[in-house]
Structure 1
Amino acid sequence: MRHFNVKGFVLSAVTGCAALIFCAQPASAAAGSGGGHYPPGEEVFQLTAQQTQGAFVDVDGSSGPSLGDEFVVSGNLLRGTTAVGTYSEICTLTRTAPADEFDLQCTADLSLAQGQLTVQGRFTVTSAGPGDIDLAITGGTGRYRTAHGTVHGVTTSSTETRLTVRLIR
């Protein structure tokens, strides 16, 4: 099994979750120049999750990822170059395969000015990386207390993930 560099894997976070900070903006303004028309109560946002800390927790002492191992990451949520919040995420390895791949089950939270959001889901990581990640918005507090929807994450570097969030309230 290959060694896994936690800094090479950024969700966001997992993390893939940061975009929800701009829920106060109209969907057309938050979505960027592409505009778009969305159903009432749905907002779409794009932000960047920037990892600042990360650790690999090896539960059985083996030389690589194994069932139950965890990746713990945290970082900043950005709109452009402006920090607008923070996130934290824990991913547990739930399946290994002989073809240098494994599954991660992840939960993340976003700490925002107007409340928190929770996100979770499972995805497969291969030797090429995690690829595009789709996770579910499972709830929130404050302004986001009725939130649900999806988060789509695309890793753009070893420490950043571009996020597209479809928030339904």
Structure 2
Amino acid sequence: MRPIRAACLGTATALVALLACAPVEAAATDTGSAHAKGADRVITLIGVLRQQSRFPVKPGGIPAAQGDRTVVRSDLYDKNRKKVGETGGTCTTTRTTGGGAEVCVVTYTLPGGQLSAQGMVFGILTQGRPTIPPPPFDNAITGGTGVFDRAHGQVHAETIAPNTRRFTIDLD
């Protein structure tokens, strides 16, 4: 098994990005509908990686190959370190040269609904191995349920400590 890399996110990595607890200021998740308010809304959360599995297309072969998949799950915390949700997603390696790239699909489960996001994460490989710490990324919000019905915007993820990412969810 290779060392942990971002999911992106993600989420990942994960966004993948995907994540070790550190106090960070965060906006509270309000319960108003994203589309009903008619204004931008930003939600900042901390994601702590809880599970990660890798599925290489060439087990025992080269360190990274096109088609390798990573599945991740992270717990999400607010500014008071209270668990408010989780993320789950998959990333597939699409390029192994020039720093590598992967495409990720991630769901954020939060109070009142879910948000779906997807996009590319670049710079995932350094000399054919996962980049540590994982690179930051931006993914598009592709939809949602409940209070996030018809949501759109983007998710920015950045590594802030080992296995820990800050997710800034910007709802338009």
Distance 1:93 1:77, change over 3 A: same
* 2:29 alignment partner, SS class: helix
CA distance in 1, matches of 2:91, 2:8: 9
CA distance in 2, matches of 1:51, 1:135: 18
The aligned amino acid for 2:146 is G
Preserved contact between residue 114 and residue 144 of structure 2 (Cα < 8 Å): yes
CA distance in 1, matches of 2:8, 2:47: 8
Equivalent residue for 1:152, pick from 148, 156, 170: 156
Tell me how large the CA RMSD over aligned residues is: 2.7
CA distance in 1, matches of 2:141, 2:28: 13
Preserved contact between residue 115 and residue 148 of structure 2 (Cα < 8 Å): yes
- Per-residue deviation at 1:75? 1.4
State yes or no: 1:74 paired with 2:73: yes
Equivalent residue for 1:131, pick from 130, 135, 138: 135
* 1:68 alignment partner, SS class: coil
- Per-residue deviation at 1:4? 4.2
Indicate the larger mover: 46-55 or 124-133: 124-133
Could you tell me which residue of structure 1 aligns to residue 23 of structure 2?
Answer: none
Equivalent residue for 1:22, pick from 29, 33, 48: 29
C-alpha deviations, 1:33-56, integer Å up to 9, x for none?
xxxxxx952111211111100011
Equivalent residue for 2:167, pick from 156, 163, 169: 163
Indicate the larger mover: 15-24 or 152-161: 15-24
State yes or no: 1:13 paired with 2:10: yes
Could you tell me which residue of structure 2 aligns to residue 31 of structure 1?
Answer: none
Runs of at least 5 residues in structure 2 that lack an aligned partner in the other structure = 19-25
TM (normalized to structure 1)? 0.78
* 1:24 alignment partner, SS class: coil
- Per-residue deviation at 1:22? 1.1
CA distance in 2, matches of 1:40, 1:110: 21
- Per-residue deviation at 1:13? 3.0
CA distance in 2, matches of 1:122, 1:21: 27
Indicate the larger mover: 156-165 or 122-131: 122-131
Name the structure with the higher helix share.
1
C-alpha deviations, 1:125-166, integer Å up to 9, x for none?
242544221110000111111100011111112211011111
Between Structure 1 and Structure 2, how many residues are aligned?
151
* 1:150 alignment partner, SS class: strand
Runs of at least 5 residues in structure 1 that lack an aligned partner in the other structure = 26-38
